Amino acid sequence: MTELGADVDATFGAVGLTRADLADPEGLIPYAQLERLLIECEQRTGCDHFALLMSQDVRLDDFGLTGRVVRCAATVGDGLSALVRLYNLRRGGGLLHLVSSENPAQLVFSMAAPGTLDTHRYQMGAMVIVFNVLRDLCGHDWQPSEVRFAFRSPHNVQPFLRFFRTPVHFDAVESAVLFHREWLDRRLPPVDQAFRLAVADEERRAHRQAYEDLPGLVRDMIRKQLSYGPCSSIRVAAALSMHRRTLHRRLVESGETFREVKRAVECEIAQQLLRETDLPVQRIADFLHFSSTANFATAFLQWTGNTPTEYRAKES
């Protein structure tokens, strides 16, 4: 921000933040407030890819406990699996998913933050951070084969090409960094046993805290499962190590049902893709695992009172 001529403290103050709010690796800033901060930064610097620049110094060790757990892994693949597991337990709208069974492998980021009107800034920054994490784990000889973004192509793609130095594509269903699968087998440097045990104890405490907001955790799990296959309460319950009936009962106790939560997530994803990409409606219906475009359009009309085409025309 200073390099671009903006006053850091004044910019933070305009959205109710201070430098200290960004100093804690375990601290969380609400997505709505972060969105206001990024917009403020863009306006004060005149840079529409500010999120890309802002994220370039974020490294694995800035992830706090999550970064420490990843450092304890034996291989890059194990480390990325730990990153996905712990990142997705954090309350928030960002979700990670590792596709390791295909070549190239993919580390995918998606958004599931209720009420977020424009996610492209988060996706922009997330892909930069994913790139940095992969380079931290694999070494400076690592290079992705492709980077995808789930938003429309900006007018100027050069900042993206300069940073990633690889083919960059827009209008994807999800944002992802693709890389050759053999990197997953690369061994990571060993860590001290005392450090490993201390990190394992921290991780157990983090898991217990994550389950305190079960509806939010279920919402994130649904979003994750929809990104790579059909989603059901049985699969979500299994991912949370509980019986399906227990999951349903605890959700009802929280004032929600699995069906309601799943429907809300599907609506959020559909709105995001219609608003921020030019993907055909049929492809969005396929991504959400509807049996036909007509069934998707009927469901979307029930959710929002508009057809997908009407919604895109109003919101784009």
Q: Which of 210, 244, 262 is the last residue of a domain?
A: 210
**pLDDT of 223:** 81
Asked if residue 305 and residue 174 are part of one domain, the reply reads no
Which structure tokens are listed for 79?
Answer: 């480390």
Asked if residue 135 and residue 57 are part of one domain, the reply reads yes
d(CA 98, CA 113) in angstroms, rounded, equals 20
d(CA 66, CA 210) in angstroms, rounded, equals 13
Asked if residue 128 and residue 191 are part of one domain, the reply reads yes
Angle value at C-alpha 270, between 85 and 252, nearest 5 degrees: 60
Q: Which of 170, 195, 210 is the last residue of a domain?
A: 210
Asked if residue 67 and residue 206 are part of one domain, the reply reads yes
3-state secondary structure 140-172: CCCCCCEEECCCCCCCCCHHHHHHHCCCEECCC
Query: pTM for the complete prediction?
Result: 0.76
d(CA 179, CA 147) in angstroms, rounded, equals 9
d(CA 297, CA 75) in angstroms, rounded, equals 44
Asked if residue 60 and residue 37 are part of one domain, the reply reads no
Which structure tokens are listed for 235?
Answer: 């699969």
Question: What string of pLDDT tens digits covers the 316 residues of the chain?
Answer: 888 889 999 999 999 998 888 777 666 777 778 888 889 999 999 999 999 999 999 999 998 999 999 999 999 999 999 998 888 777 666 778 899 988 999 999 987 655 566 788 889 999 999 999 999 999 999 999 999 999 999 999 999 999 999 999 999 988 999 999 999 999 999 999 999 999 999 998 888 887 788 888 888 888 877 866 778 999 888 877 789 999 999 999 989 999 999 999 999 889 989 998 999 999 999 989 999 999 999 999 999 999 999 999 998 7
Q: At residue 66, what are phi and psi to the nearest 5 degrees? A: -55, -45
Range of the domain at 132: 50-210
Angle between helices 214-226 and 258-276 (to 10 degrees): 50
Cα→Cα distances 304→27, 172, 266, 297, 299, Å: 34, 23, 12, 10, 9
Asked if residue 194 and residue 62 are part of one domain, the reply reads yes
- How many folded domains does the chain comprise? 3
| Residue showing tokens 């079960």 | 214
Q: How many residues does the chain have?
A: 316
Half-sphere exposure of 207 (CA within 13 A, CB side): 12
Which structure tokens are listed for 119?
Answer: 């996610």
Asked if residue 140 and residue 113 are part of one domain, the reply reads yes
Which structure tokens are listed for 89?
Answer: 């337990």
d(CA 310, CA 301) in angstroms, rounded, equals 10
Asked if residue 201 and residue 132 are part of one domain, the reply reads yes
Cα→Cα distances 8→4, 39, 59, 67, Å: 10, 14, 21, 27
3-state secondary structure 4-56: CCCCHHHHHHHCCCCHHHHCCCCCCCCHHHHHHHHHHHHHHHCCCCHHHHHHH
Asked if residue 260 and residue 191 are part of one domain, the reply reads no
Contact 96, 162 (CB under 8 A): no
Q: Which of 155, 190, 210 is the last residue of a domain?
A: 210
Asked if residue 109 and residue 194 are part of one domain, the reply reads yes
Asked if residue 305 and residue 244 are part of one domain, the reply reads yes
Q: Categorise residue 92: left if φ over 0, alpha if ψ from -120 to 50, beta otherwise.
A: left
Beta strands in the chain (DSSP E): 94-99, 105-111, 146-148, 168-169, 175-179
DSSP helix/strand/coil, 107: strand
Asked if residue 37 and residue 54 are part of one domain, the reply reads no
